Amino acid sequence: MTDPGLELTDLTAARLVESYRKGEFSPEEVTQAALEQAERIQPEVNAFVRLLADQALAQARESTGRWRRGEPKGLVDGVPTTVKDIILLRGAPTLKGSKTIPEQGSWDEDAPSVARLREHGAVFIGKTTTPEFGWKGVTDSPRSGVTRNPYDPTRTAGGSSGGAAAAVALGAGPLALGTDGGGSVRIPAAFCGVFALKPTYGRVPLYPASAFGTLAHVGPMTRDAADAALLLDVIGVPDHRDWSALPAAPGSFVAGLSGGVKGLRIAYSPSLGGQVAVQPAVAAAVRRAVERLAELGAYVTETDPDFTDPVDAFHALWFSGAARVTQQLGPEQRKLLDPGLREICATGARLSALDYLAAVDVRMELGRRMGRFHESYDLLVTPTLPITAFEAGAEVPKGSGHRRWTGWTPFTYPFNMTQQPAATVPVGVDGDGLPIGLQLVAARHRDGLVLRAAHTLYEAGIAAGVTPGVTPGVTPAGS
């Protein structure tokens, strides 16, 4: 029987699974609550492109039966989960925020991460919003409109996994699948006060292959690091459809969360050697969190990785990928594209193979430098973003002088180029009450270390974000 004072939408996935095991409440009750919350927040934040109520409730009923028999299907049986509308989900169209993709079709295949979740009994409640083809660091598209921030609906939720971040922050499912090609799970998680991990490239198989190549990762977006570890245990296994997928991890990511940060060598880079102008509130919050890491026993050194901003090389890789995404579109279809996307596609189409390979050279050198850096330091800590959320519907902050979204995301995209694991942890809010994120980066294949350090921040009470199920500044529909 459900405690009438308990908000089911406040609970983490780990807590839900434990409660199912004890018989405290059922997946049906939890799924109904998550769907109602999704409907409540949708008019204000626009986190979803599609809710799957009938399918989700059917899955939840099956899960309830399994738990009553003491036969759970897997690690997340009965947990409400959302899927970014870039990732294939059987039985639901994947339209990628684009009017150029027809809704008709069989839609009969799961992406690898979705297939693993289905095998473990997850309940899929909906597809979340994305900018068109996931091309930018905010979430608005010609097809789905603007996704807004849970703290202030006049502000952006970030992107490109903005709908996923907003859904998690507001209690519409504790687990979300996002994608990250230049910061796309970390940016919106930082703006929305939740946790996100971009795993080492290949840790989570990807199919179909991204036109953005090996910049693109699938990653967990959750309430805390423990839930992300749980989700990574489920989705971080090989799939034959992705030839670049890594072998299974040697152990459980959940089991590796304990141990703290004592003795870890942490490099703290507040501005990448003065290359980034960071808002004072952001800088102060990140510094406070770093000081607490030192108090917990980490050896913290204020130092910078040895690289200059690789944005030109990133643009060559990213813009050419965008051009490839839209290569088959005719003139009339191109008129339907987001104007910013149409612009970068034109730029990417003008690049030569030699231009692309020159960018690959920059990428390889960056990877070498970061590999050497991590011989001296276990973790790199930076702000996730130098700013907090700005006005919704804009690619860049008004008056910033930036041309593209990469102008305000200099801490995120370099680590897509190097394929390293990188996470964002909420460490407070600014004077307007908008969330601030801290980024943790480790050497390739050290995903467990990133999760362990992030978990330590949560355990120590350093990580602080939105209260799940609460919509600060937003009046729920019908209230």
Q: Given the residues 160, 161, 210, 269, select the one marked as catalytic.
A: 160
Largest CA distance in the chain: 65
Residue type at 225 in one-letter notation: A
Residue 185 token pair? 């799970």
Q: What is the rounded CA–CA span in Å between residue 414 and residue 411?
A: 7
Does the active-site annotation cover 96? Answer: no
CB atoms within 10 A of CB 142: 16
- Exposed/middle/buried for 426, CB within 10 Å: 0-12, 13-18, 19+? buried
Q: What is the rounded CA–CA span in Å between residue 251 and residue 399?
A: 48
Q: What is the rounded CA–CA span in Å between residue 64 and residue 68?
A: 6
Q: How far apart are the first and last CA of the chain?
A: 27
Query: How far, in Å, are 284, 362, 425 from residue 296 at the CA level?
Result: 19, 37, 17
Question: Residues 6 or more apart from 128 whose CB is under 8 A from it?
Answer: 47, 48, 49, 82, 83, 84, 85, 161, 162, 163, 164, 166, 167, 176, 178
Q: What is the rounded CA–CA span in Å between residue 99 and residue 152?
A: 28
Q: What is the rounded CA–CA span in Å between residue 261 and residue 183?
A: 25
Q: List beta partners, residue 267.
A: 301, 380
Q: What is the rounded CA–CA span in Å between residue 70 and residue 50?
A: 32
Residue 455 token pair? 């978990």
Q: Given the residues 26, 84, 141, 144, select the one marked as catalytic.
A: 84
Residue 41 token pair? 């927040």
Q: What is the rounded CA–CA span in Å between residue 160 and residue 129?
A: 8
Residue 277 token pair? 């102008």
Q: List beta partners, residue 439.
A: 382, 424
Give the length of the chain. Answer: 479
Q: Given the residues 19, 26, 113, 184, select the one marked as catalytic.
A: 184
Closest to 159 in 3D by CA, of 171, 144, 174: 144
Q: How far from chain centre, in Å, is Cα 428?
A: 18
Task: Check if the beta carbon of residue 63 is closer than 8 Å to that of residue 81.
Answer: no
Residue 49 token pair? 């492109």
Does the active-site annotation cover 160? Answer: yes
Does the active-site annotation cover 269? Answer: no
Burial of 204-220, coded b for 16+ CB within 10 Å and e otherwise, reads bbbbeebbbbbbbbbbb
Q: What is the rounded CA–CA span in Å between residue 54 and residue 408?
A: 40
Phi–psi pair at 27, nearest 5 degrees = -55, -30
Residue type at 431 in one-letter notation: G
- The catalytic residue positions are 84, 160, 184
